[in-house]
Structure 1
Amino acid sequence: MKIILLGCGGSGGVPLLGGDDGHGAWGACDPAEPRNRRTRSSIVIQAADGQTILVDAGPDLRAQLLEHGIGRIDAVLLTHAHADHVMGLDELRIINRIMGKALPVYGTAQTLSDVTSRFEYAFRPPTLGFFRPALEAVIVEPGQVVHLAGLDVRLFSQDHKVMETLGLRIGSFGYSTDVVEMPDAGFDALAGVQDWVVGCFQRAPHPVHAHVEKAIDWACRLGAARTVLTHMGPDLDWAWMRQSLPEGVEPGYDGMVLESPQDGA
């Protein structure tokens, strides 16, 4: 199983819009380091047979799929309905044409209620030629193991303060974006993972996202062989993180590829 980090930035990406010259506000990030350039957080998970799950569909989705040569998506899983995780859903219209069918979109009842109200036209029956997206809402709940694109995906609840988000586990891989407090049930679901990608927005505590110290504490508790940080803001410079993070914890970057066994859930 191959996991590609399409994007590992926060809601504004890195750099943020603006800056002294209008070409971006980089914060503490060095503009000369290409791994500091971050699009909005999303991943694809590719099974051994080529079936592909897209986790979240942010506003950078078109460029991300082109950059990484992804023209097949068999299922979409939404962790929650914040704009930086769903506003690229319209781009899936071309994927509908390539695949020749509607795409199932999995999420909690609240998440799907939010996205179907924003993208009502995309959840109607498909049109001939797919002149608008064709998406099928499938409600899932934390605690379920769902079969997506040939993979058994274990779902668990995470606390994002302003809403619940979904974390996921497939085999020895776990993914936890947009979380500020991890419930015990989440740690139970992740027990034994070898590769864990987890959101970490900045150095100082944040009201709705984990910060560096908290992410490190979680990594120590979980004991994964490899913990990769994602959903990072302009406070987190690549070189600073490489120098400051403990062994076994590392920053992700757009285009990073992880290989992980897909058996078990």
Structure 2
Amino acid sequence: MKVTLLGVGGSAGSPQIGGADGFGDWGQLDPAEPRNRRTRSSIVIETDDGQRLLVDTPPDLRLQLTGAGIGRIDAVLYTHAHADHIAGLDEIRILNRIIGRAMPAYATRFIWDELRQRFDYAFKPFNSGFFSRPVLEEEEIAPGQIVDILGLPVTLIDQDHGFSRSLGLRTRNFAYCTDVVHLDEPALAALTGLDLFVVDCFTRTGKHPSHANLDQVLAWVEQLRPHRTILTHMGPDMDYQALLASLPPGIEPGYDGMVLAL
């Protein structure tokens, strides 16, 4: 099994739109470091037999997949319905054509309701023919479940995302917990014994209302003791080289296109 980090940026990506010259606001990030250029957060999990689960459809999805050399997706799972995680849903249309059928997609009832409001055309009846729009095969899931997706047992973890809830996921000894500010005891219990932990870390200092900061991530790592921790959903004060030089062993910043083997 392997995991590809398609994007590791926050909701605005980096650089953000703006900047004195109009070529982007980098915040505290070094523009000369290519790994500071970040698209919105998403991953692909590839099974032992080569099937691929896409987690979220961010607005940068086309560039992410083509940049990573990933030409086929076999199922999609949504963690929550914020725009930076769903706005690329229309790219499923081309993925439908590649697999030749509706895309199996997994989400909670709340997320499905949100997707129907924003992408109503994707949910109209479809029997057969040319895929001129995305077509989803809806699978309803719920936090706390263990569901079989492409032969993988996926544990769904309820997460506090500040003003809303999100889903974390664990399969085998890998976990992905993006867009989370607090993990309760049941969530932490589901994350013990990890080899690889990819986790939200938006800012180095100061509290954020809906995302973990570095102190919080370090506390989770101290409690959970994963073998390797990769930071994702990083904001404008999370410079790649500065983090690499200061983080303790076993913790490192991710970057777009990073491939992690398990």
Normalised by the length of structure 2, the TM-score is 0.97
- The one-letter amino acid of 1:222's match is L
2:241 matched residue in structure 1: 239
Question: Which consecutive unaligned segments of at least 5 residues does structure 2 have?
Answer: none
4+ aligned runs moved over 3 Å, structure 1: none
3-state SS in 1 of match to 2:190 = helix
Q: Are the equivalent residues in 2 in contact too, given 1:161–1:208 (CA < 8 A)?
A: yes
- Post-superposition Cα deviations, 1:115-144, rounded to whole Å, max 9, x if no partner, equal 111111112233511011111221101111
Which amino acid is the alignment partner of residue 232 of structure 1? M
- What residue is the counterpart of 2:154 in the other structure? 153
Q: CA deviation at 1:243?
A: 1.5
Matched, 1:225 2:247: no
In structure 1, what residue type is equivalent to 2:209? P
Query: Does 1:132 find its partner at 2:124?
Result: no
Q: Which residue of 2 aligns with 1:194?
A: 195
- Comparing 114-123 and 26-35, the one that deviates more: 114-123
Partner of residue 206, structure 1: 208
Report the identity percentage: 55
CA distance in 1, matches of 2:123, 2:145: 24
Checking the alignment, whether the CA contact within 8 Å between 1:193 and 1:224 is kept in structure 2 is yes
CA positional deviation for 1:108: 1.1
Q: What is the rounded CA distance, in whole Å, between the counterparts of 1:95 and 1:239 in structure 2?
A: 35
1:172 alignment counterpart? 173
130-139 or 41-50, which moves further after superposition? Answer: 130-139
Cα deviation digits, residues 161-204 of structure 1 (max 9, x gap): 11110000010100000000011111111110110000000122
| Aligned twin of 1:6 | 6
Instruction: Confirm or deny: 8 A CA contact 1:201 1:231 kept in the other structure.
Output: yes
Q: Residues of 2 paired with 1:109 and 1:162: CA distance?
A: 18
Structure 1 unmatched ranges of 5 or more? 261-265
- CA–CA distance in structure 1, aligned partners of residues 182 and 23 of structure 2: 34
* Partner SS state of residue 190, structure 1: coil
* Residues 1-265 of structure 1: pairs in structure 2 closer than 5 A: 1-126=1-126, 128-203=129-204, 204-260=206-262
Deviations 1:40-67 (A, max 9, x none): 0000000011111000100000110111
Q: How many residues were matched structurally?
A: 260
C-alpha distance in 2 between matches for 1:235 and 1:120: 37
C-alpha distance in 2 between matches for 1:185 and 1:223: 16
Output the CA distance in 1 between the equivalents of 2:77 and 2:156.
10
SS in 2 for 1:112: helix
